[in-house]
Amino acid sequence: MLKIGVLASGRGSNFQAIINAVKTGYLKARVEVLITDNSAAYAIKRADDNGIAGLVMRPADYASPDTYYEAVADELVKRGVGLVVLAGFMRVVRKPLIDLFPMSIMNIHPALLPSFPGLHAQRQAISYGVKISGCTVHFVDEGMDTGPVIIQAAVPVYCDDTEESLSERILEYEHRIFPYAIRLFAEGRLEVKGRVVRIQGQVKDKDVVVNPPLAKGD
């Protein structure tokens, strides 16, 4: 069974969506550990409530960013983690972690990459005036939201949207496509060819994206 290590910095609603998907049996995997850089993160309570080991690892406690990610990688390897999931982890992952988990680190971004990478993607979308935004699950490389795209969901942008209202609409789809992407990985159905991620048997799953359970109590 696939063991997942989750990195999160805040409330962890995507972390909860993954927990829910495991509990319902939609996702045949186990969340082995939560690592957070923020001792006040609500994600820690989610881990405690679900019997998941939680570690606070702050970059300030390490000599350098690379040393920090070496320590994070060591903890993940020690627990037999096969997939690293960034669920609102507000740091750019560096080479020591990426090298140990090549094409085995997933992130979710609240925009349709390559549009609007980085922080405040929803604000960027509204400012630009786009009519469609959404969210993207992608593999992590050394760039800022530049890794190969696994799956995306499109979400309309309305003329009266605020950053907050658009964020909430996108978040609902984040909670659906992230478990789906992890499920594809767990089933060995993802093949990376350069920048292209090929999904085996995707045509048979065409309605599966809307089926994963939503996180509750976010």
Q: Which residues are catalytic?
A: 109
Residue pair 185/199 in contact (Cβ under 8 Å)? The answer is no
- The DSSP annotation for 114-145 comes to TSS-SS-HHHHHHHHT-SEEEEEEEE--SSSS
User: Which residues lie below 8 Å from residue 46, measured CB to CB, with a gap of 6+?
Assistant: 12, 15, 16, 19, 34, 52
Q: Which residue has the tokens 């992590």?
A: 140
137 to 57, 105, 211: CA distances (angstroms): 24, 10, 17
Question: Is there a contact between 33 and 55 (Cβ–Cβ < 8 Å)?
Answer: yes
Measured in degrees and rounded to the nearest 5, phi and psi for residue 141 equal -120, -160
